[in-house]
Amino acid sequence: MAKETIKTMHERDISAERTRSRAVGIIAKAFCYAFLIFMALVVLFPFYWMINSSLKSLEEYRQSVPTFWPQKVLWSNYAEAFTAASLGRLFFNTAYVGIVSTILSLVITILSAFAFARLEFKGKNLLFSALLATMMIPGELFTITNYSTVTNLGWMNTYTVLIVPFLVSVFYIYLLRQNFLQIPNELYLAAKVDGTSDFKYLCKVMIPLSLPTLISITILKMMGAWNSYIWPRLVANDDAHRLITNGLRNAFTDTTGDVNYPVQMAAVALVSAPLFLVFIFLRKYIMKGVSRSGIKG
Partner 1 sequence: MVEGKQKWKAWLYLAPAIVLLLVFTVWPIINTVRMAFLEGYSGLKVAGGESFAFGVGNFVKVIKYQKFLSCLKNTVLLCVLTVPISSLLALLVAVFLNSIKWLQKPLQTIFFLPYVTNSIAIGMVFAAMFNIVGSFYGTDNEIIVTAGIINNIIEFFGGKAVNWINYGSSYAANITVMVIYIVWNALPFKILILLGGLQSINKQYYDAAKVDGTSRRRIFARITVPLLSPMLAYVVITGFIGGFKEYTSIIGIFGEAMGPADAAGRLNTMVGFIYDALSTNNQGRASAAALILFGIILVVTLINLQVSKKRVHY
Residues 116-175 binding partner 1 (CB under 8 A) are 116, 119-122, 124, 131, 134, 136-149, 151, 164-168, 170, 173
Rounded distance between C-alpha atoms, residue 262 and residue 268, angstroms: 10
The DSSP secondary-structure symbol of 195 reads T
Closest CA to 261 of 92, 90, 86, 74: 74
Residue 186 binds partner 1 (CB under 8 A):
no
Kindly indicate which of the ranges 5-13, 32-40, 85-93, 209-217 contains the residues binding partner 1, using the contact rule CB under 8 A.
Answer: 32-40
| N residues, the chain | 297
Rounded distance between C-alpha atoms, residue 192 and residue 139, angstroms: 41
CB of 12 to partner 1, least distance (A): 18
Q: Which residues of 188-197 are buried (b: 16+ CB within 10 A; e: fewer)?
A: beebeeeeee
Give the per-residue contact string, 188-217, with partner 1 (x = CB under 8 A; - = no).
-x--x-----x-------------------
CB of 3 to partner 1, least distance (A): 26
Residue 80 binds partner 1 (CB under 8 A):
no
Nearer to partner 1, 4 or 258 (CB): 258
Residue 291 binds partner 1 (CB under 8 A):
yes
Kindly indicate which of the ranges 8-16, 28-36, 71-79, 175-183 contains the residues binding partner 1, using the contact rule CB under 8 A.
Answer: 28-36
Count of beta carbons in the 10 Å neighbourhood of residue 29: 10
Residue 64 binds partner 1 (CB under 8 A):
yes
Nearer to partner 1, 96 or 260 (CB): 260
Kindly indicate which of the ranges 1-9, 55-63, 80-88, 204-212 contains the residues binding partner 1, using the contact rule CB under 8 A.
Answer: 55-63
Residues in CB range of 241: below 8 A, 6 or more apart: 93, 157, 158, 159, 162, 232
Nearer to partner 1, 208 or 294 (CB): 294
Rounded distance between C-alpha atoms, residue 239 and residue 250, angstroms: 11
Residue 229 binds partner 1 (CB under 8 A):
yes
Count of beta carbons in the 10 Å neighbourhood of residue 217: 25
CB of 150 to partner 1, least distance (A): 9
Among 10, 18, 22, 62, binds partner 1 (CB under 8 A): 62
Residue 63 binds partner 1 (CB under 8 A):
yes
88, amino acid identity: G
Rounded distance between C-alpha atoms, residue 118 and residue 187, angstroms: 11
